[in-house]
Amino acid sequence: MKTNRAIWAMPVVLGLLTVAGLLVALVGDGVWDLVSVAALAVPVLVGCWHAFKPARSPH
């Protein structure tokens, strides 16, 4: 059985990364635009990776 920390660790990290990327996009300029794009791309890439990876067999 997984603990709450094991279950919620990645969603919390991805949520914080998303919030940070949005805040940086609002207040930053120049190189901060690249930082915000990278921060916002990570959750999208993680979601795509999980959506397109092959399903594991239950056996």
Name the residue ranges covered by the structural domains of the chain.
17-52
- Distance (Å, rounded) from C-alpha 8 to C-alpha 20? 18
How far is CA 46 from its chain centroid? 6
- Mean pLDDT, residues 36-58 taken together: 92
- Distance (Å, rounded) from C-alpha 16 to C-alpha 13? 5
Q: How confident is the model at residue 11 (pLDDT cuts 50, 70, 90)?
A: very high
- Mean pLDDT, residues 4-21 taken together: 95
Q: How confident is the model at residue 18 (pLDDT cuts 50, 70, 90)?
A: very high
Q: Give the tokens for residue 3.
A: 């603990």
Residue 57: its pLDDT value, please? Answer: 76
- Mean pLDDT, residues 3-8 taken together: 93
Q: Is the pLDDT of residue 54 over 90?
A: no
Residue 2: its pLDDT value, please? Answer: 86
